[in-house]
Amino acid sequence: MGPDLLERDAEIHALLAAVDAAAAGSGSVVLIGGEAGMGKSSLVRAFLSRLPREVRVLVGACDDLRARRPLGPLRDAARGSGGPLERAVVDRDLEAVFGAASRELDTPPVTVLVVEDLQWVDDATLDVLQHVARRISSMTAVLVLTLRADEVDPTHPLRALLGELGASRAHRIQLQPLSADAVRELTSTRAAQGARWDAAQLHALTGGNPFFVSETLASPPGTVPRTVSDAVIARSSQLTPAARDALEQLAVVPAVVEFELAESLLGGGLGLLEEAERYGMLQVRPDGLAFRHELARRAVESRLPVIRRRRLNQAVVASLLAQPQPDLDRVVHHAVEADDAEAVAEHAPEAGRAAARLGSNRQALAHFGVALRYAATLPPAEHARLLDEYAWELGNAQRFDEAVRFSSESVRRYETLDDREALADVLARMSRHLYMTGATSEAKQAAGRAVEVLEAAHASVEHVANALIAQGSMLTLTGRSRTALDVLARAQRLTEQVGKPYLSAMCLNCIGMARGDLEGPAGLVPLRESIAIARSAGAHETAARAYTNLAEALHRSWCGDELARVLDDGVAFALERGLWSHAYALQAHRGLLLLRRGDWTDAAELLAGLVADAGAAGVLSVFSVAAHARLLARRGDPAAEGMLFDAWDRAVAQRSVTGLALAGPAIAEWSWLAGRPDRSTVVVETLMAGADGRLGIAPVIGEVLRYRSRAGVPVPEFPACPQPWASGLRGDWREAAARWADVGDPYERALELASSSEPAPMLEALKVLDSLDARPAAEWVRGNLAAAGVTKVPRRPSTSTRANPARLTERQLEVLALLTEGLTDAEIAAELVLSVRTVNHHVADVFDKLGVRSRRAAAAVARTLDMPRRRGGSRR
């Protein structure tokens, strides 16, 4: 290690140990975290310098561009390697990149892939990293990721990757500031070179940030910088004017400046930069020139006058466009910085479309958004198209209200143009945006109008098929499956003429939804076909939509084993491609699966997190709220009532088949547990009114009727009632309990056992319900046991046992209570008069005992327990 890399031996040894494990076939991910300037890149360089020659090393970094370069870090890492990844990223085929990345990394003896500054990651790269991370444990590879965790807010897509990487799948290295002793060692070294600094003063000034320390020590004598920026500028002030001008030109370019680009910008005069290199401002790397740290580049850039900064960025635009194959993401970044309206309007839409094809939805959204700021120069048709494209990406980002607004503007503009096919396409897409906001009537009108517009014109078969599919989708989603199948039969004939796989997949998707509604599990074959076709064709959103629709149907019919497989595949697929709304719906059904299987703690963690994000989920929030409220009802939480009826009212207003199927049974169960069977009458009436011949919702109705019967309410005859509900309704508790055991639902099995008049099965039921902490149902069983004359009824678990099932210490309970109130570790430390480091350890121990990985998840679990309120109440 160099003399300035202090107190990092343990971290380097951890990285080298990961390489040794990978050589033995046990690959891993290493996350290196720390604030800016903490030495993450220096640590990586020191680690790489220690590797044996036979280890393959691929290094890439994410750029701080306005719209990140799709696959940029992987393109940089693979450049010149000659391997499968280099070929795949050039072709920009995301499906091919997934497979190529796995093959590239799983190359003996060991491959190390480094991706730096993950806080700036693009969606496509993130998708690939998630794909690799899920498979790396069996590879001869180490994936090293660096990031500034303080720049990753709760809504950042990177949270999905970080949340998935549990302790068993990733090594986490959090870099700490230098100690006072390390700073003293550095000052003594500089003192030998003639510099004079008080070590204690320097440590207090810099907080031990290694980059700040080194920049301050390199400042001219007599300079006392108060910030990193001050220190950098003080160092640059020692350059000649010509060298400083050259340095400022490079400062407007994020990350590495290739030699070719630098020569173009400086007129071939790279000699002007020798001074900057000598003073430690610049580094010469194999792929170009770079500031020693991004903080230094930003410090120089931020001091530039606006007019000069624009002029320097305009020079970069000109140099990039002069290249044979310009990088449009970089062109757009610098064009915006230069306020070059013509260049932005010309290149941003093209960059956005390229990003969208790769599934980099955030990057596409950014490009389309900036293009619209300069859209006044675009032809009317291009402007209308851009509005539609922007609306679609807003929908992918779960910003459904905005998607409707921009779609509406696109429709308005197309209405003034003589392009009925484009108008119909926008109306079809707008119908989905409207539905996702809950505006179901307007969504059906938009889809219907798309068909009408094309019928009045001599439209192409492809556009007519697309409009019919949108109309059929809206009919199916609102429970009019027979009518939908008539529409979709016509659409299917047209798709066969067109011969485009993406359209066939969409049509089969809707047909599978409609047939599943009418026929039950037997009608789901088209949905499975849709997934296969869409994945093969690279129609990512269509495939994710089919996964979601199949999961919803499988849950209603309770095909548990297939549902588990579909959820595993579908969640991974949707998350890897940044399709957040589909991932949200699938995760809600994963919570329901956990609930059915008796994994209530995991279900509580997952569903509470989804409910916390429900504001952005639109119509999908009904799924998570209904599921979470049902769990709360089972545990006697009074908040369940309001949540359930809110979900029901919204599902009714939206005419959402899935929403009604989730909220309806939950209300029936709550009304039984609460002794309010009258409150579920409306549920029975609503569901029975639409049940005619629809086998897909027969299990939902059977479930509602069984809970009504438990409440002592007469229920109507329902010949189509499936098992296990049918056995329960006819009073055959043994058959029903046995069937629920086969299904794997301990709660429903316990309820059937408790329906007997025999003490032994009732006592067995009570034991199961107490273990689940299903308090209202357990009290119902205790009442039945007492009524049956059983004198030795087990007492309910004590409050302390329920409140502390993870056996937390008193101090850990205090920390958990404060954490639940939203306090940071520093605030908890102040409250309990502890050091922050001690609180860090307590929080980690709490996470381990509760089996969670985030503060939000810990708080969610805490809220399901009977923890006593902290004296003094909440501080917030």
DSSP 797: P
Helix (H) or strand (E) holding 427: helix 420-437
CA nearest 815: which of 847, 857, 781?
A: 847
**Which residue bears the tokens 């660096």?**
146
Give residue 808's domain range.
804-863
User: Which residues are CB-contacts of 465 (< 8 A; sequence separation ≥ 6)?
Assistant: 491, 494, 495, 498, 503, 507
Looking at residue 850, its pLDDT comes to 74
pLDDT confidence tier of residue 866, bands split at 50, 70 and 90:
low
Pair 298, 234: CB distance under 8 Å: no
Q: What is the 3-state secondary structure (H, E, C) of 262-311?
A: HHHHCCCCHHHHHHHHHCCCEEEECCEEEECCHHHHHHHHHCCCHHHHHH
Domain membership of residue 370 (yes or no) is no
Distance CA 613, CA 702 (A): 31
How many beta carbons lie within 10 A of that of residue 792, not counting itself?
7
Residue 849 vs residue 43, higher pLDDT: 43
Q: Band the pLDDT of 505: cuts 50, 70, 90.
A: very high
Stretch 838-853: mean pLDDT: 75
pLDDT-derived band of residue 791, with 50, 70 and 90 as boundaries? Answer: confident
- Confidence (pLDDT) at 807: 62
Q: How far apart are the C-alpha atoms of 213 and 227, rounded to whole Å?
A: 10
State the sign of the Cα–Cα–Cα–Cα dihedral 192, 195, 201, 207: negative
Residue 222 has pLDDT above 70, yes or no: no
Residue 164's pLDDT band (boundaries 50, 70, 90)?
low
Supply angle C-alpha 860, 556, 632, rounded to 5: 25
- Please give the C-alpha separations between residue 858 and each of 164, 563, 689, 855, in angstroms, as whole numbers: 16, 27, 42, 5
Q: CA–CA separation, 532 vs 569, rounded Å?
A: 12
- pLDDT > 90? residue 1: no
Please, which pLDDT band fits residue 214 given cuts at 50, 70 and 90? confident
Provide the pLDDT for residue 798.
Answer: 58
pLDDT per residue as tens digits for the range 660-717:
999 999 999 999 999 999 999 999 999 998 777 788 899 999 999 999 999 999 999 8
Identify the residue with better confidence: 855 or 548. 548
**pLDDT value at 875 more than 60:** no
Tell me the torsion sign for CA atoms 828, 831, 832, 835. Answer: positive
- Identify any residues that bridge with 290 across adjacent strands, giving them in sequence order: 283
Give the C-alpha distances (Å, rounded to integers) separating 240 from 101, 236, 245, 296, 303: 46, 9, 9, 18, 17
Strands ordered across the beta sheet of 28-33: 56-61, 111-116, 141-147, 28-33, 170-174
* HEC per residue, 572-586: HHHHHCCCHHHHHHH
Query: CA-to-CA distance for 515 and 529, rounded, in angstroms?
Result: 13
The enclosing domain of 112 has a CATH number of: 3.40.50.300
Confirm whether 703 is domain-assigned. no
Cα dihedral 777, 783, 788, 790 sign:
positive
Query: In which band, very low, low, confident or very high, does the pLDDT at 430 lie, cut at 50, 70 and 90?
Result: very high
Region 740-753: mean pLDDT is: 94
| pLDDT higher at 561 or 255 | 561
> Cα separations (Å) of 344 from 264, 409, 493?
21, 21, 42
Instruction: Name every residue whose Cβ is closer than 8 Å to that of residue 707 and which is 6 or more positions away in sequence.
Output: 665, 668, 669, 671, 672, 680
DSSP state for residue 257 in the 8-state scheme: B
Is residue 67 within 8 A of residue 355, CB to CB? The reply is yes
Q: By the 8 A CB rule, do 869 and 614 touch? A: no
Residue 873 banded pLDDT, cuts 50, 70, 90: very low
Residues 283 and 291 sit within 8 Å (Cβ to Cβ)? yes
Q: Is residue 814 part of a domain?
A: yes
Instruction: Flag whether pLDDT at 746 surpasses 60.
Output: yes
Closest to 270 measured CA to CA, from 301, 249, 299: 249
**CA 469 from centroid of its chain's CA atoms:** 28
Residue 591 CA to residue 523 CA, distance in Å, equals: 25
Helix (H, G, I), strand (E, B) or coil at 260: helix
pTM, whole model, 2 decimals? 0.78
Q: Is pLDDT at 195 greater than 70 in this prediction? A: no
The predicted pLDDT at position 162 comes to 75
**What number of CA atoms fall less than 13 Å from residue 516's CA on the CB side?**
28
Query: Taking the chain, what is the end-to-end CA distance rounded to the nearest angstrom?
Result: 47
Tell me what pLDDT residue 461 has: 94
Phi-psi region of 348 (alpha: psi -120 to 50; beta: other; left: phi over 0): alpha
- Asked, for residue 438, whether it belongs to a domain, the answer is no
The confidence score (pLDDT) of residue 286 equals: 86
The whole-number pLDDT of residue 617 equals 60
Question: Residue 748 burial by CB count (10 A; 0-12/13-18/19+): exposed, middle or buried?
Answer: buried
Number of domains in the chain: 2
Do the Cβ atoms of 139 and 85 come closer than 8 Å?
no
What are the backbone angles phi and psi of residue 113, rounded to the nearest 5°? -110, 120
Cβ–Cβ under 8 Å, residues 615 and 578: no
Residue at 132 is within a domain: yes
Last residue within a domain, chosen from 120, 148, 174: 174
For 451-599, strand residue ranges (E) read none
Least confident of 18-32, 142-156, 356-370: 142-156
User: Over 60: is that where the pLDDT of 872 sits?
Assistant: no
Can you tell me whether residue 95 is helix, strand or coil? helix
Q: Which residues pair with 288 in a beta bridge?
A: 285
Q: What is the pLDDT of residue 833?
A: 65
Q: What is the pLDDT of residue 129?
A: 92
Arithmetic mean of pLDDT, 807-817: 77
- Interstrand relation of 288-291 and 282-285 (parallel, antiparallel or unpaired): antiparallel
Q: Among 168-172, 439-443, 583-587, where is mean pLDDT lowest?
A: 168-172
Give the CATH number of the domain where residue 843 resides.
1.10.10.10
Alpha helices in 5-52 (DSSP H): 9-23, 40-49
Burial class (CB in 10 A: 0-12, 13-18, 19+), 4: middle
Q: What is the mean pLDDT of the chain?
A: 89
Which residue type is seen at 466? Answer: N
CB 90 within 8 A of CB 79: no
Out of 174, 196, 224, pick the residue that ends a domain: 174
Residue 3 has pLDDT above 50, yes or no: no
In a domain, 828, yes or no: yes
Structure tokens at 532: 């296969």
Query: Quick check: 50 pLDDT over 50?
Result: yes
DSSP annotation of 151 reads G
pLDDT in tens, 101-114: 999 999 889 999 99
Please indicate, yes or no, if residue 281 is contained in any of the structural domains.
no
Select the highest-mean-pLDDT range: 217-221, 235-239, 455-459, 493-497.
493-497
Residue 474 has pLDDT above 60, yes or no: yes
For 517, the token pair is 């509604």
840 pLDDT band (50/70/90 cuts)?
confident
> 853: pLDDT confidence band, cut at 50, 70 and 90?
low
Peptide bond connecting 254 to the previous residue in cis, omega within 30 degrees of 0:
no
Q: Alpha helix (H) ranges present in 358-419?
A: 361-373, 380-396, 400-415
- pLDDT of the residue at 799: 53
What is residue 824's predicted lDDT score, i.e. its pLDDT?
83
Residue 724 has pLDDT above 90, yes or no: yes
Give the per-residue pLDDT at 867. Answer: 59
Distances from the Cα of 559 to the Cα of 448, 521, 817, angstroms: 34, 8, 39
Residue 64 confidence (pLDDT): 87
CA dihedral 182, 186, 187, 188 (to 10 degrees): 100
- The single residue listed with the structure tokens 């006392």 is 224
pLDDT band at 852 (very low <50, low <70, confident <90, very high): low
Task: State the residue for tokens 């059977």.
Answer: 702
Cα 707 to chain centroid, rounded: 36
Taking the CA of residue 494 as centre, how many other CA atoms within 13 Å lie in the half-sphere pointing to its CB? 19
CA–CA separation, 47 vs 49, rounded Å? 5
pLDDT of residue 845: 77
- The answer to whether position 268 is within a domain reads no
For range 156-183, the mean pLDDT:
78
What is the model's pLDDT at position 768? 93
In DSSP terms, which residues pair with 291 in a beta bridge?
282
Which residue, of 122, 149, 174, is where some domain finishes? 174
Enumerate residues 6+ apart whose C-beta is below 8 A from 50.
12, 16
